[in-house]
Amino acid sequence: MLKLYNSLTREKEEFRPLGGEATMYGCGPTVYNYAHIGNWRSFVFYDLLRRYLEYAGWPVNLAMNFTDVDDKTIRGSRAEGVPLKEFTRKYEEAFKKDSRKLNILPPRVYARATEHVNDMVRLVVRLRDRGLAYRAEDGSTYFDVSEFKGYGKLSHLDLGELREGASGRVSVDEYGKEEARDFALWKAWSEEDGDVYWDTVLGRGRPGWHVECSAMSQKYLGETIDVHAGGVDLIFPHHENEIAQSEGATGKPFVRYWVHCEHLLVDGRKMSKSLANFYTLHDLEEKGFKPVALRYFYLSAHYRSQLNFTLDALTQAQRTVEKLNDFVLRVRSAPNAENGVVTDALQTALKGFENAMDDDLDTANALPYLFEAVRVVNSEIEGRACVPVKDVLDFLMRVNSVLGVIDFAREEIPARIQKLVCEREKAREQKDFAKSDELRNKIRGEGFVVEDSAGGPRVRKA
């Protein structure tokens, strides 16, 4: 029985969807630059959650947005002097491409904010009709937080500290808790917006960031959704405001389970460009890492604990993934048996894996069960015993349907090629580069290529 930690109640709660399938919304990227490895931790986490819900028997209707109009995207497109659409589509494509590399399954719906402005306007009008929104002197429409009972319930905000009065408004998309006050739902056009505006019943302008997710989640998933996921940095103001907008408009609970993924640190510090500890997926690929190694690295810790990224840790993760891939090949070529001692070990391991995952997706405690199974099977193979190949592969595939790190499509490399790769590795260690090049060419001549990666040499069919 799956339990998830709900940020709203601050308790682990048994998960059960309202309908036959689970509705899930994940706040997507703001497409104004390439996602960095801190962002990817959240997106891999959404994917883990989605995969495990499906593993547990609930198909998932997942919707995710692209924030392709907000303060940051407009600023970026103007700085580069390109139209907003052209500017954002580039990052949107990069996001989808990187998602595939990280084995992130696509959501049922990707929704662009710019294509849902009418839905947002309707939502704001609904809030205005219910006395929860007003138009200010600046022409923008704001949410009146004093009129919404329950404002602050997700972020545990002290309402007594809310600022009031004519200056009690915030028009920018991002702000801190100390600035909590009426926030912009619809922003009147200003000089800085350039040609980005819509003419609507709310006047000429554009939507605020927060209202985008409320409108799009309602459109695709309904007024009450099962799961809403995001990084912890989104709890305030973004998710707090989403609750106010959605519940304010419908009078119904917006989200049943709020789940948030912790921050990623890099070399023990917050990632920043000035500290030279800022990485995109592309940066890591250039250093010879496979994207799936990053995915494994994320999964090695529980999603609610802070995780410290280092290149050494990623190297380790890459080796582990390669070992798992090698293990698949070894099992495939092992002598087959109907069953054996490993059958029980596999069942025990699967049970342990599921129990850990049921406990709020505790991957850190689930992974050791996988390695225990690998250890038992390996020792059987090394002892020249027959193993139930199909059972072992079934186990790996089940576990991997959640983890998404093992490559089952990899082809077997003949022993004579493996031997040449080893010889070449020795030559490299002895700095005999002439010989190492000669061996590389020989391998090439046999139709295989060697790649030198951070996890050691890898060989594949040319």
Q: Enumerate binding residues for Zn ion (CB under 5 A).
A: 27, 213
Rounded to whole angstroms, the Cα distance separating 3 from 52 reads 11
Q: Quick one: 27 or 292, whose CB is closer to Zn ion?
A: 27
Q: Quick one: 124 or 349, whose CB is closer to Zn ion?
A: 124
Q: Quick one: 95 or 353, whose CB is closer to Zn ion?
A: 95
Min separation Cβ 210 and Zn ion, Å: 7
CB burial of residue 157 (10 Å; 0-12, 13-18, 19+): middle
Min separation Cβ 214 and Zn ion, Å: 8
Rounded to whole angstroms, the Cα distance separating 227 from 60 reads 10
- The residues with which 183 forms a beta bridge, in sequence order, are 143, 170
**Tokens at 198, concatenated:** 């819509």
Q: Quick one: 27 or 314, whose CB is closer to Zn ion?
A: 27
Q: Tell me how far CA of residue 362 lies from CA of 52, 359, 383, in angstroms.
A: 11, 6, 33
Please name which of 38, 39, 53, 241 lies closest in space to residue 133, comparing C-alpha atoms. 241
Min separation Cβ 27 and Zn ion, Å: 3
User: How much helix, strand and coil, in percent to the nearest 5, is found in the chain?
Assistant: 50, 20, 30
Min separation Cβ 39 and Zn ion, Å: 13
Q: Quick one: 104 or 213, whose CB is closer to Zn ion?
A: 213
Rounded to whole angstroms, the Cα distance separating 363 from 461 reads 33
Min separation Cβ 268 and Zn ion, Å: 29
Q: Quick one: 27 or 123, whose CB is closer to Zn ion?
A: 27
* DSSP element (H, E) containing 109: strand 109-112
Rounded to whole angstroms, the Cα distance separating 103 from 156 reads 35
Q: Quick one: 7 or 400, whose CB is closer to Zn ion?
A: 7
Min separation Cβ 231 and Zn ion, Å: 10
Q: Quick one: 63 or 314, whose CB is closer to Zn ion?
A: 63
Min separation Cβ 66 and Zn ion, Å: 11
Min separation Cβ 221 and Zn ion, Å: 13
Q: Tell me how far CA of residue 291 lies from CA of 349, 405, 453, in angstroms.
A: 27, 10, 12
Rounded to whole angstroms, the Cα distance separating 420 from 435 reads 11
Only one residue has tokens 């580039």, namely 90
Q: Quick one: 30 or 400, whose CB is closer to Zn ion?
A: 30
Q: Quick one: 213 or 321, whose CB is closer to Zn ion?
A: 213
Q: Tell me how far CA of residue 16 lies from CA of 4, 230, 303, 400, in angstroms.
A: 10, 19, 20, 23
Q: Are 78 and 194 in contact (CB under 8 A)?
A: yes
Q: Are 90 and 73 in contact (CB under 8 A)?
A: no
Q: Quick one: 27 or 293, whose CB is closer to Zn ion?
A: 27
- The residues with which 110 forms a beta bridge, in sequence order, are 64
Please name which of 41, 35, 97, 111 lies closest in space to residue 301, comparing C-alpha atoms. 41
Preceding peptide of 457 cis, ω within 30°: no
Please name which of 50, 33, 160 lies closest in space to residue 404, comparing C-alpha atoms. 50
Rounded to whole angstroms, the Cα distance separating 247 from 251 reads 5
Min separation Cβ 156 and Zn ion, Å: 19
Local structure of residue 238 (DSSP, 8 states): I
Min separation Cβ 131 and Zn ion, Å: 25
Min separation Cβ 322 and Zn ion, Å: 36
